[in-house]
Structure 1
Amino acid sequence: MISTEILAKITTWKSDVFDAETKQQLHDLEAQGEKELLEAFYKDLEFGTGGMRGIMGVGTNRINKYTLGKSTQGLCDYLHSSFPNQSISVAIAFDCRHNSDTLAQVVANVFSANDIKVYLFESLRPTPELSFAVRKLQCQAGIVLTASHNPPEYNGYKVYWNDGGQLVPPQDKELIAVIDALHYQDIRFKPKPEHITKIGAEIDQEFIKSTIQNATILQKAGARDDLKIVFTSLHGTSITVVPETLKQAGYSQVHIVEEQKTPDGNFPTVVSPNPEEPEALTLALALAEKVGADIVIGTDPDCDRLGVAVRNNEGKMELLNGNQLMILLTALLLEKWQSEKRLNGKQFVGSTIVSTPMMHALAESYEVRCMVGLTGFKWIAKMIKDHPELEFIGGGEESFGYMVGDNVRDKDAVASTLLACELAAYAKASGSSVYNELQNLYLDLGYFHETLISLTKKGIDGLAEIQAMMAGFRNDPPRSVAGQEVIMIEDYQTSKSFDFTVNREEELDLPKSDVLIFYLADGSKIAMRPSGTEPKIKFYVSVTESVETLEELQAAKVECKEHVAAIVADLKLN
């Protein structure tokens, strides 16, 4: 049964404030039945860890010209209040998804109607290039139209501030309050074309130049020419800059997966355009075997995440997980900084509360500070902004994202792709391999094994189920898991941690978030949270073993995998 409140929302969308096309879409939706109508209107889209993201269509819980128009109008009002008596400008980019280009134009029109100068990319571009452009063009804000790796029916809207990072508290809450106070009739859709400027190739070249300066480490001549790379853009935006970046950096043996080269919002060759999913790299791995490649790299549609595969000691391609890639890239950067005698106690690397604890061990081995924030690269960007006295080396999170330096203030698969190739070329030229480098890190720091369990729960019922699961673990937490005592619980929703070994409660010094973490007596860690961008609840399991030899490492891999399986079974996450 649809409530009176939701019926009032639906009636509003039938008014003359909305255009004929929208009203026809609403009529068609009503004909599909009450369930579909309710899904479209039962809530308003909200800003999550990656901005506002949802299914395209008519309704308050959908991505359309009115929900984006209202958010943009609110942002215009917020910008004018934040930068009074100043000339304000924004940069706008968009990805390969259906309607991204037209929605980007709608957003540009609203900005221009509010006397804000707009730099609009002439065609699709990677998300990290938008972050770069905000700072390069000295804009007060930026927008990118993307739903990252979500299914084809999704689109989204990420908001960036003048530091090139996504919005964080208190700005995000302040903006939401402004948006919520608006009515749809307040949106100024009529453009002022004189305020809109198209940008493209000139920013591309500056971005590529900056990336190469930031993410190259090799000194040995010929090492890049000797590396065989397979690259796939998975039908996304990375095709516009990654091949050219690799070429200008000196990589001559780049094999592109032709079947996935053309941008296409249907993502026809994959089940999901997500490099976290092994299936997404099937064609790339097949090409790697054909050409004898050393490394395979695939990026998601907006080119902020990357998946990497390298050859193991048996010569077979093996996929790295996001934690492993983060450790390898960070270790490479730390070694570079150390060799250049640039480490002086005023540097840091960044990670998140759900990522591998191995980052702490790695940073400690170089006597570098490791800062940890909530999930999402906006928190790493905030670290950079909040600590101008420190230099940021690099950082990432388990979800296949990495940031090299601070020229881009978001996860950046362009720079990370180049840095991964630098690692592979350096290792090969040194008679080693990426796989061997990872094994050496385990021998030095201990073996860390992480597993992500993602449970999809769609719609209203799914949301209620996710909330019930979180409430269950929060209100009645287990005292032991897989035979190991729970010795500490961190609850980021209440900002409290409790250490059972000393019966002490402490405050958590991070913003509130719906995240719960259990620490076990053997050093294992279990984190859980609802996804901020997808209808999922995620469980992050990390276990560790000390190892000194390759034989111990192989045994530890088996033991840790079995331990994770026992944890998953005990928590009934299968």
Structure 2
Amino acid sequence: MTEILDKAKQWLSPTFDTETRQEIQQLITTNAPDLADRFYKDMEFGTGGMRGIMGAGTNRVNKYTLGRATQGLSNYLTENVKKEQLKVVIAYDCRHNSKKFAKIVANVFSANKIKVFLFEDLRATPELSFAVRHLDCDAGIVLTASHNPSEYNGYKVYWADGGQIVPPHDGKIIKNVNALDFSEINFNANTALIESIGAEVDDVFIDASVKHGCLSKSIDRKNLKVVFTSLHGTSIVSVPDTLAKAGYSDVHLVAEQSAPDGDFPTVMSPNPEEPEALKMATDLADKIGADIVVGTDPDCDRLGVAVRDTDGNMKLMNGNQTMVLMTEFLLKKWKETGKINGKQFIGSTIVSTELVNAIASSYHVETKVGLTGFKWIAKMVKDFPELDFIGGGEESFGYMVGDFVRDKDAVTATLLACEVAAYAKQNGSSFYEELLNVYVKNGFYKEHLIAITKKGMDGAEEIQQMLSTMRNNPLKEIDGEQVASLSDYQASTKKDLITGKITTIELPKSNVLIYQTINGTRIAARPSGTEPKIKFYFSVNALLDSKENAKKVELELDAKIQRIIKEMKLG
């Protein structure tokens, strides 16, 4: 505790403004219980950049942690990108302080002689990714905490290719940042280097979204009734206009959730993965007889889709299901137009459904599988320029159509979900029935995610202990099935638990463990890169002989998942 107190007292120096010094002094004086959490570590870059609770301290998002990150990035750009004029673009979401933080970040870049394009108001994260390449920038920043609670904010860094930073840049940038003292941040803006941008980028981005999201001229878009909710986030700026431009005229917004609001007043959590977040939208859908509901998170990179099941009830798809059907639709349309020639690929991640791999294989298209996070899918696009990227996604409700955006993109993905639904409807089917058709063809895959929260220093240690136990004392059976292999992405090894053979995993190291049984049951475990949580991913599958038996098979798979959770003492 003495070390933490000494670290906190450093924030009482003249390097920090009066407001910050007063906040820290109050914490020290009152021996505040969260003082240790604010200073026991520095804010780090994870799978989604830097994200945390707002407030004073080294482990908080504030003017100084953001300033230091920006100063470190500025130093790295200046030293490693040899251009006469370096350029960055900055966007921000609806969260408290996002606009203020974006201006602070712009000031630091400009103080370091870097040209800044700053969006005039809140914008979707995928538009920031698009703008990096559209404006020929060397980096991009978006101030957002995605779907985290309202007390959070964050900072995502994008490289010149429009994707989030990956090795070697990420490690080198972090090294630059960590080497800095807060007194070295240059906050003295050169306003001549800061340029406001807006509609001129919006228009090009929306045009590109329509171009990539609309795959057929024969789809009857006017006959699809859509409910859309932005969950108080940035998507209200771009999604309705994109749908309208594509020809969807029967679109109904959830008015109570349309105004951007960092308090997210109508939901417990602005996360479209959770049915509760989309309840107002599904209630409206039932009232007006809508075919599909789409909701996006605050920065508009992930989406939740609800459609009518075979009984006519609204059912929230999980991220894997949406990903599966979007991939199937994209491949089908590419095949119909004769564009598949063996030089294409689909992108996925190690914790996403393996059903996507089977679907792509049925179209003779390769699936490249990377670590969790869309920065790895963006890296695939960069690493294989000789191949066409068709689309890709991950289980966490994200999808990317083509490579004009190099991150998960809920704008174009919303449009694509509507395309799937509209095409199915005009052919006497539905979004859900098309998913069942995929299951009949390839097998019924059912996935489930559990995220267990473990806060603070003790929580971080507990998470590491849970992973250590799974790593060093591997399960031998899962629901009566023999475990066939254990993949340890931290050690870069896959061990065949039957033969003892060990093979090397050719991916960057990551603290992820994946068990696979002889029957294809799969369990993955990993710590969240952006929240104090450990996540467990369950995947089970069974044959489905007909759509009529789907409910029965789904119940059996759900029961199997619950048995595994109980067996592992996770719930």
- With the shorter chain as reference, the TM-score category is over 0.9
Letter in 2 for 1:248: K
The one-character-per-residue Cα deviations of 1:32-71 (angstroms, maximum 9, x if unpaired) are 4242111100000110110000000000000000000000
Q: Of residues 511, 519, 522 in structure 2, which corresponds to 1:525? A: 522
Percent identity over the alignment? 58
Alignment map for 1:7-26 (pairs within 5 Å): 7-26=5-24
The one-character-per-residue Cα deviations of 1:317-355 (angstroms, maximum 9, x if unpaired) are 111000000001011100110001000000000000000
Q: Distance in 1 between matches of 2:83 and 2:367?
A: 40
The one-character-per-residue Cα deviations of 1:194-227 (angstroms, maximum 9, x if unpaired) are 0000000110000000000011023226x11111
Letter in 2 for 1:99: N
Q: Does 1:40 align with 2:11?
A: no
Q: Distance in 1 between matches of 2:30 and 2:314?
A: 47
Alignment map for 1:90-489 (pairs within 5 Å): 90-220=88-218, 223-489=220-486
Letter in 1 for 2:41: K
Tell me the secondary structure at the aligned position of residue 540 of structure 1: strand
Q: Distance in 2 between matches of 1:367 and 1:33?
A: 63
Q: Distance in 2 between matches of 1:388 and 1:182?
A: 36
Letter in 2 for 1:229: V
The one-character-per-residue Cα deviations of 1:402-461 (angstroms, maximum 9, x if unpaired) are 000000000000000000011111111111100110000000111101000111111122
Q: Distance in 2 between matches of 1:219 and 1:117?
A: 41
Alignment map for 1:39-78 (pairs within 5 Å): 39-78=37-76
Q: Distance in 1 between matches of 2:410 and 2:83?
A: 37
Displacement, 1:551? 4.1
TM (norm. structure 1) is 0.98
Q: Structure 1 stretches of 5 or more lacking a match?
A: none
TM (norm. structure 2) is 0.99
Tell me the secondary structure at the aligned position of residue 459 of structure 2: helix
Count how many residue pairs are aligned between Structure 1 and Structure 2. Answer: 571
Letter in 2 for 1:18: F
Letter in 1 for 2:169: Q
Letter in 1 for 2:319: G
Q: Distance in 2 between matches of 1:386 and 1:45?
A: 30
Higher deviation after alignment, 548-557 or 313-322: 548-557
Displacement, 1:10? 1.2
Tell me the secondary structure at the aligned position of residue 537 of structure 1: strand
Letter in 2 for 1:423: V
Q: Structure 2 stretches of 5 or more lacking a match?
A: none
Displacement, 1:86? 2.9
Displacement, 1:487? 1.0
Letter in 2 for 1:188: N
Displacement, 1:480? 1.1
Q: Of residues 522, 535, 540 in structure 2, which corresponds to 1:538? A: 535
Letter in 1 for 2:243: L
Tell me the secondary structure at the aligned position of residue 518 of structure 1: strand
The one-character-per-residue Cα deviations of 1:272-297 (angstroms, maximum 9, x if unpaired) are 00000110001001100111100000
The one-character-per-residue Cα deviations of 1:236-267 (angstroms, maximum 9, x if unpaired) are 00000110111111111110000000000000
Displacement, 1:383? 0.3
Letter in 1 for 2:245: Q
Higher deviation after alignment, 224-233 or 459-468: 459-468
Q: Distance in 2 between matches of 1:481 and 1:54?
A: 35
Q: Distance in 1 between matches of 2:355 and 2:2?
A: 49
Q: Distance in 1 between matches of 2:98 and 2:225?
A: 34
Q: Distance in 1 between matches of 2:492 and 2:375?
A: 19
Q: Distance in 1 between matches of 2:314 and 2:186?
A: 53
Tell me the secondary structure at the aligned position of residue 35 of structure 1: coil
Letter in 2 for 1:483: G
Q: Distance in 2 between matches of 1:85 and 1:131?
A: 21
Q: Distance in 2 between matches of 1:553 and 1:258?
A: 35
The one-character-per-residue Cα deviations of 1:507-532 (angstroms, maximum 9, x if unpaired) are 10000000000011211000000000
The one-character-per-residue Cα deviations of 1:371-404 (angstroms, maximum 9, x if unpaired) are 0000000000000000001000000000000000
Tell me the secondary structure at the aligned position of residue 572 of structure 1: coil
Displacement, 1:28? 2.3
Tell me the secondary structure at the aligned position of residue 8 of structure 1: helix
Q: Distance in 1 between matches of 2:150 and 2:548?
A: 45
Cα distance, 1:244–1:34 mapped onto 2, change above 3 Å: same
Displacement, 1:27? 1.7
Q: Distance in 2 between matches of 1:480 and 1:528?
A: 16
Letter in 2 for 1:104: A
Tell me the secondary structure at the aligned position of residue 169 of structure 1: coil
Q: Does 1:3 align with 2:32?
A: no
